[in-house]
Amino acid sequence: MVAQVLDLGVDLADPETFTRGDLGAYWRRLRQEDPVHWHPAAPDRPGFWVISRHADLMAVYRDEARFTSEQGNVLVTLLAGGDAAGGKMCAVTDGARHREVRNLLLKSFSPRVLAPIAERVRHNTLRRVARAVLLSECDFAAEVSEHIPMTTISDLLGVPESDRPFLVDRAQRALSSHTAGQSEEDGWSARSDILLYFADLMEERRGHEADDVISVLANARINGVPLSRDEIVLNCYSLILGGDETSRLTMNDVVHTLAGEREQWRLLREGAVGLDTACEEALRWATPAMHFGRRALVDAELHGRLIRAGDIVTVWHSAANRDETVFADPDRFDLARTPNRHVAFGYGPHFCLGAHLARVEITALLEALRRFTSEIEVVGEPARFHSNFLAGFSRLPVRFTRDKAQLSAFAAELRADR
Ligand code: HEM
């Protein structure tokens, strides 16, 4: 049986695998027959383990002592043999140092600091969606979703308004090295521009206490010792890495899904399902970060398979979020689903720091859609993201049917605010 699964010839390291079609049947088979699956080596890369069940994902993530993030937490860096940010950036640091730096970052993610940022997210999303609905047709990715996460991250970092176009431009170039026409060197140079920019801001903010992430990190001390320059700059950059594309892809996915799920759209629009459960289902359905990974520090046994010290272990959120032992009718998009124990944000010590903010963004989008449009149609071929890590659409041509009364009421609100 296992050999048959291997014969399916699915190569999870190859980004093309995810653009070719739905892997639902493959994941179902792995969950049921080979939950700790050995993905064989290829001439250009070593083999790695593939974890597909929800319970096993949680077991690996909570066990930092046996499964480390410090040598990389995604397939690309794990296969390359390590992550230069290991031990410096929160997401790829373990143990006491991880907890200390994460606690510092949490100060900027407290409800008090986030409240005004969340309010701006709502307002910005309403404006962007209203504008998109007024166009006869548009690329939703370019008109709406591209603009929301980076504005939010810039607010968190305290990036001055005048520097934002620069940061957005560099972030796009740094992150879209998988897009056609984008060279690897351009990606590297954009990344180094961002790191240098954060290094300058960090110097400016030393000695000036404030709630934004750069100021918090620049002025923090752990056991009396300031953070290193690399720690500060890389942790600022990690918000862009963690929060931009993941949120954008979820927004694009929910618009695409709602266009095809008319009954669910009707329930949402009529208020028959709540925005909170709808947001969770949108996250489960999209699962924009398909996997994360770890390296085994010691030999470990799981379901009778021996994972050897040094092996790469990949954990597939896209498989765990369809686990039939956890989700009733997992392949059904159900905006009223409760409970919904999805693992789109991971689990354990590295659970997503931006989860609340991402939920604010998705909820704001759902709220704006149901307010301003009565119908969503996909009017052209969407373009899929080319990656073995992130899933979703990079272009999504849509047509919205206007709710004229709501749009006029919103325009009146905006005039009254001026
Ligand atoms: C960690 C997913 C949005 C910042 C993670 C992890 C996942 C995840 C699965 C765990 C990684 C691991 O275990 O190795 C998502 C998804 C998002 C989202 C699906 C949107 C839908 C955000 C946002 C931010 C953010 C908006 C910040 C503005 C981070 C950071 C970490 C993280 C800093 C590392 C936490 C740590 O290591 O302690 N995210 N994320 N994420 N995320 Fe998110």
pLDDT at 417 over 50: yes
Rounded Cα gap, residues 298 and 68, in angstroms: 10
In DSSP terms, 294 is beta-bridged to 313
The model's confidence at residue 179, banded by pLDDT at 50, 70 and 90, is low
**What is the DSSP track for 215-244?**
HHHHH-EETTEEPPHHHHHHHHHHHHHHHS
Tell how far the Cα of 241 is from the centroid of ligand 1, in angstroms. 9
Q: Is the dihedral of CA 173, 145, 102, 311 positive or negative?
A: negative
Whole-number pLDDT of residue 4: 40
Residue 102, C-beta contacts closer than 8 angstroms, at least 6 positions apart: 90, 349, 353
Mean pLDDT of the chain: 94
Question: Strand 225-226 to strand 221-222: parallel, antiparallel, or no bridges (unpaired)?
Answer: antiparallel
Residue 115, CA distances (Å) to 65, 90, 111, 119 in order? 36, 24, 6, 6
Tell how far the Cα of 379 is from the centroid of ligand 1, in angstroms. 32
Among the atoms of ligand 1, which is closest to the Cα of residue 244? 26
Tell how far the Cα of 357 is from the centroid of ligand 1, in angstroms. 10
**Low-confidence winner among 47-56, 176-185, 195-204 (lowest mean pLDDT):** 176-185
- In this predicted model, what pLDDT tens digit does every residue of 28-79 receive, in sequence order? 999 999 999 999 999 999 999 999 999 999 999 999 999 999 999 999 999 9
ipTM exceeding 0.90, yes/no: yes
Tell how far the Cα of 57 is from the centroid of ligand 1, in angstroms. 16
Rounded Cα gap, residues 206 and 220, in angstroms: 9
Q: Return the residue whose CA atom lies nearest to atom 7 of ligand 1.
A: 345
Ligand 1 contact via 238 beta carbon (within 6 Å) = yes
Q: Return the residue whose CA atom lies nearest to atom 32 of ligand 1.
A: 352
Taking a C-beta distance cutoff of 8 angstroms, is the pair 156, 210 a contact? no
Enclosing H/E stretch for 67: strand 67-68
Rounded Cα gap, residues 392 and 387, in angstroms: 9
Among the atoms of ligand 1, which is closest to the Cα of residue 92? 37
Residue 352, CA distances (Å) to 116, 139, 344 in order? 20, 29, 9
Among the atoms of ligand 1, which is closest to the Cα of residue 91? 37
Rounded Cα gap, residues 255 and 23, in angstroms: 21
Among the atoms of ligand 1, which is closest to the Cα of residue 153? 28
User: Which strands, in side-by-side order, build the sheet including 48-51?
Assistant: 36-39, 48-51, 312-316, 291-296, 67-68
Q: pLDDT above 90 covers what percent of the chain?
A: 90
- In this predicted model, what pLDDT tens digit does every residue of 365-386 receive, in sequence order? 999 999 999 999 999 999 998 8
Instruction: Out of 151, 246, 318, 343, give the residue to mutate to test ligand 1, the one with the largest number of ligand atoms within 8 Å of its CB.
Output: 246
Residue 347 has what DSSP assignment?
Answer: -
Taking a C-beta distance cutoff of 8 angstroms, is the pair 226, 220 a contact? yes
Among the atoms of ligand 1, which is closest to the Cα of residue 288? 19
